[in-house]
């Protein structure tokens, strides 16, 4: 790893002082959820290449695998640990190391502390830069969660506190106990529900937004056609928005993106990411990939500047194309906005 050829500028996540590359790397798909996982040696080489290209922000979680994603990220980033920001998450419980992604929610203080210790071991590090509550646990007061992470911060084991898919009231209550550096929510051209209520609150409180699935779980790259089908091991096979009828209907959105991309000499994925970066200076998308060409394409979006007129044009075009299909089935939707 030469560390040369940096192309990605930096952004600050709200007022926390946490500075990261304007485009981060979501690592989940390297080990699970999107069909066949990547070969370990290749995934480590990809992490190294991301660092070479200026990525300093890497996102993992104990739930990804479970556990194997943190181990991969820990091994891959150990040689450059002091150059990167590693985010991981707590809040789920698992039936076994090889079982399903998660079995239930658990944000009890003792569980948070145990997860922190286990994650530190797997990540081969002495501190977690950003520690998110993966989903809000309705059985544990958010003040207790924030206070527990605050204690881990005082102990030097965690540097910043994050939340994911939390409602504005919950974010406010947590932030009053321990400042929240970042909220990680799904946000993209086809998932904009947070703009109305969540964004004004984040702006007011000085909290950054980390946008997961910024490419619509791959859909916004334009790589899926009406006939695309998914392996049963692929998380998307169970999502309403990826049902055959929805994929066919949502091609209209891709046509809009293709037209804009052609005009800009870019790809649909780059337009989707550049649009996101143009929304607010405190938003950082974390697209994931297992392919070097896709990594380079994604990072190229950071150099693509959209004017306010471009953004208006995109928004107007999107307004004419309704998105078909819910983003989650009901049982997963219940875990959001609490």
Q: List active site positions.
A: 64
Sign of CA pseudo-dihedral 91, 15, 70, 23: positive
Q: How far apart are alpha carbons 99 and 37 in whole angstroms? A: 16
Q: Angle at which helices 198-205 and 168-177 pack, to 10 degrees?
A: 20
| Angle, CA of 202, 205 and 209, to the nearest 5° | 30
Question: SS in 3 state form for the chain?
Answer: CCCCCCCCCEEECCCCCCEEECCCEECHHHCCCCCCCCCHHHHHHHHHHHHHCCCCEEECCCCCCCCHHHHHHHHHHHHHHHHCEEEEEECEECCCCCCCCCCEECCCHHHHHHHHHHHHHHCCCCCEEEEEECCCCCCCCHHHHHHHHHHHHHCCCEEEEEEECCCHHHHHHHHHHCCEEEEEEECECCECHHHCCHHHHHHHHCCEEEEECCCHHHHHHCCCCCCCCCCCCCHHHHCHHHCHHHHHHCHHHHHHHHHHHHHHCCCHHHHHHHHHHHHCCCEEECCCCCCHHHHHHHHHHHHCCCCHHHHHHHHHHHHCCCCCCCCCCHHHHCCCCC
């Amino acid at each position: 790893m030469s560390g040369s050829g940096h192309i990605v500028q930096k952004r600050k996540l709200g007022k926390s002082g946490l500075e990261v590359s304007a485009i981060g790397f979501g690592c989940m798909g390297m080990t699970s959820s999107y069909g066949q996982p990547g070969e370990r040696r290749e995934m480590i080489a990809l992490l190294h290449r991301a660092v070479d290209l200026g990525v300093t922000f890497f996102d993992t979680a104990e739930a990804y695998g479970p556990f194997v994603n943190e181990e991969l990220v820990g091994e891959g980033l150990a040689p450059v640990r002091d150059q990167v920001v590693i985010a991981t998450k707590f809040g789920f419980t698992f039936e076994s190391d090889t079982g399903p992604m998660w079995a239930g929610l658990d944000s009890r203080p003792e569980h948070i502390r145990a997860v922190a210790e286990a994650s530190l071991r797997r990540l081969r590090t002495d501190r977690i830069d950003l520690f998110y509550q993966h989903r809000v646990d309705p059985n544990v007061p958010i003040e207790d969660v924030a206070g527990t992470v605050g204690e881990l911060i005082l102990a030097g084991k965690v540097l910043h506190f994050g939340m994911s898919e939390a409602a504005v009231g919950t974010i406010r209550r947590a932030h009053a106990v321990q400042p929240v550096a970042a909220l990680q929510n799904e946000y993209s051209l086809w998932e904009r529900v947070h703009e109305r209520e969540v964004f004004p609150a984040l702006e007011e409180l000085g909290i950054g937004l980390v946008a997961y699935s910024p490419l619509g779980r791959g859909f916004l790259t334009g790589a899926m056609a009406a006939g695309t089908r998914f392996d049963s091991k692929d998380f998307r096979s169970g999502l309403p928005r990826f049902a055959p009828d929805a994929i066919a209907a949502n091609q209209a959105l891709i046509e809009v993106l293709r037209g804009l991309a052609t005009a800009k000499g870019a790809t649909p994925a780059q337009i989707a990411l550049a649009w996101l970066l143009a929304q607010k200076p405190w938003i950082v998308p974390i697209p994931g990939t297992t392919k070097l060409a896709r990594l380079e394409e994604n990072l190229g979006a950071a150099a693509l500047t959209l004017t306010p007129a471009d953004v208006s044009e995109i928004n107007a075009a999107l307004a004419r194309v309704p998105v078909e299909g819910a983003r989650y089935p009901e049982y997963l939707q219940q875990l959001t906005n609490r």
